[in-house]
């Protein structure tokens, strides 16, 4: 039986996958494409995370799509609202008709002779494995492990008499009303959960090993409220979007260039939200400089309100071991709890866990270098979506999708079938893909592709520079090479064998 062939296969039907499908339809209308989604529904992150209070940690004018303006009054939106936005977008543009659910991509093998990927697809319901082919593989699977979050080994946890929950596996309809809750962690998940849990729990404690920088933003954009009804919605959206992009760029660059001053300003803001309480401020004073780890955003200062109101305590200490009643701290104290939430981070996964081979040779991800933050050196006709760490994920995703479409159209215009980024020469110094000191990054970053010390191998983390590089720079840059197969294409059913690989977790 001949495998089904597609011009483009998109792996993942979350935020980036849906955006990619839109740009393909608009910019490459003659290309056939399908989205393969391992889960039973679209939405990716926003369908997976169901813990109380889950929300965006970026403003929706930049996290939402440029082609479908965000119209909800909340700029920091709930997970449920974002998921509905994605469903409506997929339906409005007919993207939902291109999604096949319960299809996990386990591996893909490229053949230079046929200029095709042979993709190994597992049916998550039956376990059956089939193959499909495509001319271009676009991986929109995010960068973390969907099956399980990260939980350290806690001594004595089996002795604890209460419930232990990781936010990624939050039980449906879990009742925590009137319970004592300890949330372990101080990152984006923890600062989201804590004020929400405090609304029903008898008391909540945020237990952190070290503080994180937290900034306060309005849940409703002041400029959006001012422009409402005064100018056309599309114009207002573009204006608000660019205002937020530019503010983020300026803030990030000033903070990284003048870290001591930035730290003082951030702590001054936090102190104001804590009423100048020095005792509380010590729990919100990180030891590192701003943007060495991602900053956390809380809308309208809800976390600080809960802390000042007495429904939330913040404890900075290390865990010695669990007890039957709660957690024993290294300082000697004990936190009694009915529920412990381990908001201890994510586990990262490269390319959604799929394995690659080129002409029968397995691709070692850590030996590749990223070209323009999206293509792996030496790996043809494949792009990997990886958004910004200092701004909204979608900003980079949309630029990456636009560039993929430019590649496809250029291949057709010059009569070629393969686009491959050259490997950097010895003058380019390899560097980690991400420089964050966060534990979730450092645990796994060695398994990821590298970036290089110079463009086009260097990651900008800068929307303005990427706009020039991905939307306007010439395609023929001496690094991205376009070529034809060495001989005529065989029949579609003459596909190369996949390199043997373990299934993705």
pLDDT digits (tens, 9 = 90+) for 160-182: 999 999 999 999 889 999 999 99
Neighbours of 483 (CB within 10 A): 15
* pLDDT, averaged across the chain: 92
Cis, bond preceding 456 (omega within 30 deg of 0): yes
Per residue in 103-157, pLDDT (tens digit) is: 999 999 999 999 999 999 999 999 999 999 999 999 999 877 777 778 889 999 9
Question: Does 245 have pLDDT greater than 70?
Answer: yes
Calculate the alpha carbon distances from 6 to 39, 118, 148, 189, 492 in Å.
21, 11, 31, 38, 11
pLDDT tens, residue by residue, 6-46: 999 999 999 999 999 999 999 999 999 999 999 999 999 99
- Work out the burial of residue 422: count CB atoms within 10 Å of its CB; fewer than 13 is exposed, 13-18 middle, 19 or more buried: middle
How would residue 279 be classed by pLDDT, with cut points 50, 70 and 90? very high
Please choose, from the candidates 67, 470, 59, the residue with its C-alpha nearest in 3D space to the C-alpha of residue 238.
67
Return the number of other C-beta atoms located less than 10 Å from residue 74's C-beta: 17
Buried b (16+ CB within 10 A) or exposed e, 383-419: bbbbbbbbbbbbbbbbbbbbbbbbbbebbeeeeebbb
Confidence of residue 294 (pLDDT cuts 50, 70, 90): confident
442 has pLDDT over 80: no
Whether the predicted pLDDT of 405 surpasses 60: yes
Confidence of residue 440 (pLDDT cuts 50, 70, 90): low
Question: For residue 151, what pLDDT is reported?
Answer: 86
Residue 191 has what pLDDT? 96
| pLDDT at residue 175, as a whole number | 95
Alpha helix positions (H), 51-208? 60-63, 79-92, 188-197
Q: How many CA atoms lie within 13 A of 330 on its CB side?
A: 9
Q: Both tokens of residue 8?
A: 């483009």
- Range with top average pLDDT, 112-121, 225-234, 454-463: 112-121
> What residues contact 95, with CB distance under 8 A and at least 6 apart?
18, 21, 22, 25, 35, 89
pLDDT tens digits along 418-433: 999 999 999 999 998 8
Strand-pair partners of 116? 111
Strand segments, DSSP code E, in 174-277 are 180-184, 203-208, 214-217
What is the Rg, in whole angstroms, of the alpha carbon atoms belonging to the chain?
Answer: 24
Q: Which domains does the chain have, with CATH numbers?
A: 5-147+347-483 (3.50.50.60), 167-216+259-342 (3.50.50.60)
User: Does residue 62 come out as left (phi exceeding 0), alpha (psi in the -120 to 50 range) or beta?
Assistant: alpha
pLDDT digits over 314-338, tens only? Answer: 999 999 999 999 999 999 999 999 9
Token pair recorded at residue 227? 């422009």
Sign of torsion over alpha carbons 85, 91, 97, 101: positive
Q: Percentage of residues in the chain with pLDDT exceeding 70?
A: 95
CA distance 465 to 32: 31
Strand partners, 205: 182, 313
Confidence tier at 501 by pLDDT (50, 70, 90)? very low
Q: How far apart are the C-alpha atoms of 306 and 502, rounded to whole Å?
A: 47
- Give the range among 167-181, 293-307, 308-322, 434-448 with minimum mean pLDDT: 434-448
Tell me which residue of 363, 389, 397, 387 sits closest to 377, measured CA to CA: 363
Q: Is the CB of residue 155 less than 8 Å from the CB of residue 148?
A: no
354, pLDDT greater than 50: yes
- Band of pLDDT at residue 437, cut at 50, 70 and 90: low
Residue 273 has pLDDT above 60, yes or no: yes
Q: What angle do CA 116, 362, 496 make, to 5 degrees?
A: 35
């Amino acid at each position: 039986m001949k495998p089904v062939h597609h011009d483009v296969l998109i792996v993942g039907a979350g935020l980036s996958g849906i955006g990619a499908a839109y740009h393909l339809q608009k910019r490459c209308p003659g290309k056939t494409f399908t989205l393969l989604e391992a889960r039973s529904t679209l939405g990716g992150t926003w369908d997976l995370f169901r813990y109380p209070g889950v929300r965006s940690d970026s403003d929706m004018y930049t996290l939402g799509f440029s082609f479908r303006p965000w119209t909800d009054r909340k700029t920091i939106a709930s997970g449920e609202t974002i998921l509905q936005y994605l469903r409506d977008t997929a339906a409005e543009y007919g993207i939902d008709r291109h999604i096949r659910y319960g299809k996990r991509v386990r591996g893909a093998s490229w053949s230079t002779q046929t200029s095709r990927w042979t993709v190994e697809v597992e049916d998550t319901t039956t376990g059956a494995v089939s193959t499909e082919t495509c001319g271009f593989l676009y991986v929109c699977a995010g960068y973390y492990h969907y099956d399980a979050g990260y939980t350290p080994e806690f001594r004595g946890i089996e002795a604890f008499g209460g419930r232990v929950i990781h936010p990624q596996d939050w039980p449906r309809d879990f009742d925590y009303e009137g319970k004592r809750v300890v949330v372990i962690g101080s990152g984006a998940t923890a600062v989201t959960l804590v004020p929400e849990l405090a609304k029903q729990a008898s008391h909540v404690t945020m237990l952190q090993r070290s503080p994180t920088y937290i900034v306060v933003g309005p849940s409703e954009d002041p400029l959006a409220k001012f422009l409402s009804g005064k100018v056309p919605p599309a114009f207002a959206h573009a204006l608000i979007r660019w205002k937020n992009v530019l503010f983020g760029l300026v803030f990030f660059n000033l903070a990284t260039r003048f870290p001591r001053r930035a730290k003082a300003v951030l702590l001054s803001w936090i102190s104001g939200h804590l009423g100048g309480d020095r005792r509380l401020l010590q729990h919100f004073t990180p030891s590192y400089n701003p943007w060495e780890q991602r900053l956390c955003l809380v809308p309208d200062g809800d976390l600080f309100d809960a802390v000042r109101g007495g429904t939330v305590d913040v404890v900075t200490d290390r865990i010695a071991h669990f007890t039957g009643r709660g957690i024993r701290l290294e300082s000697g104290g004990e936190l009694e709890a009915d529920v412990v939430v381990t908001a201890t981070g994510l586990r990262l996964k490269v390319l959604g866990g799929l394995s690659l081979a080129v002409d029968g040779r397995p691709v070692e991800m850590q030996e590749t270098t990223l070209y323009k933050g999206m293509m792996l050196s030496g790996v043809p006709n494949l792009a990997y979506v990886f958004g910004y760490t200092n701004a909204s994920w979608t900003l980079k995703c949309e630029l990456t999708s636009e560039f993929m479409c430019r590649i496809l159209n250029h291949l057709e215009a010059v009569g070629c079938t393969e686009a491959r980024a050259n490997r950097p020469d010895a003058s380019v110094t390899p560097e980690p893909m991400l420089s964050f000191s966060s534990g979730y990054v450092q645990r796994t970053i060695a398994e990821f592709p590298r970036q290089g010390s110079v463009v086009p191998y260097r990651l900008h983390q800068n929307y303005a520079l990427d706009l020039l590089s991905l939307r306007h720079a010439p395609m023929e840059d001496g690094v991205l090479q376009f070529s034809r197969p060495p001989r005529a294409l065989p029949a579609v059913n003459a596909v190369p064998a996949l390199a043997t690989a373990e299934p993705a977790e």
